[in-house]
Amino acid sequence: MKEFSEQRLSGRAALVTGSGSGIGRAISLRYAREGANIIVNDINLEGANETAKMIKELGRKAMVIKADVSKSAEVEAMVEKAYKDWGRIDILVNNAGISGIPYLIIEEPEPEWDRVMNTNLKGTWLCSKFVALRMLKQEKKFGPLRGKIINTASIAGKTAFSHIGAYSASKFGVIGLTQVFAKELAPDITVNAICPGFHVTGIYLNSEEVIRESMKQFKSPEILVGRIGKAEDVAPLATFLASNDSDYMTGQAINIDGGVEFH
């Protein structure tokens, strides 16, 4: 069956961090099918180039920028290049993130805590900060807003998960940061978060078996829709939040998890 597309993002420029694989790639490809041109960011250049190739095969433009979102200078340089080459960023998707190594929280080594926080929370702050500073100055080209920011949080940012305490705390932080940015950037920029559940991505070694074992360890509720998620399940929600259909929404954190988390 042909994927439905309304070209809701026609002509827009989207920066998607961590888009060399998984959810970031799925969002990028869906955005391209909806008419957007994509700035592909990842620390894995091979994966980023593969995503860019797939975007170009869909007839859209793609620019690859390698940058570590936890490093201020690299993020600032990435945003500078994007604006220099394309003139604007209409959509920022803060998707880059890591799960970290599982530990009981009282046994978590400080360097591992810092690594997870720096990528997931600090990285979201840095990318949002440097993009928003420019977004606020760009013309309103596609409606009443100057741009949109979409953060990838997690259902582990709604209810704590044991053994991945740093990850869970970082995603609680992403939801809080989403609300702060939503308040401070209104009414020119909307900021919302997506909270995926258990999806077959690199975090789970692209394995349903690993996910099922993880769910047992986390003592997670069942997935009500009866199947483990795919990266592509997240992309339609990300598209809605990037489009004019969601112009009256900001500061929200929306679950996309097959019914695992209800709040």
**Where in the sequence numbering do the catalytic residues fall?**
167
Report which residue type is found at 152. Answer: T
Query: Which residues have a Cβ under 8 Å from the Cβ of 196 and sit 6 or more positions away?
Result: 23, 152, 154, 155, 229, 234, 256, 257
Distance CA 196, CA 35 (A): 24
Residue 237 exposed, middle or buried by CB count within 10 Å (0-12, 13-18, 19+):
buried
Give me the half-sphere count of Cα atoms (radius 13 Å) on the Cβ side of residue 223: 20
Decide: helix, strand or coil at residue 108: coil
Q: In the chain, how long is the greatest CA-to-CA distance?
A: 50
Distance CA 98, CA 193 (A): 17
18: nearest Cα among 168, 181, 129, 150: 150
Tokens of 138: 């760009």
Strand partners, 59: none
150: nearest Cα among 230, 87, 234, 231: 234
Sheet holding 62-66, edge to edge: 62-66, 37-42, 13-16, 91-94, 147-152, 189-196, 253-256
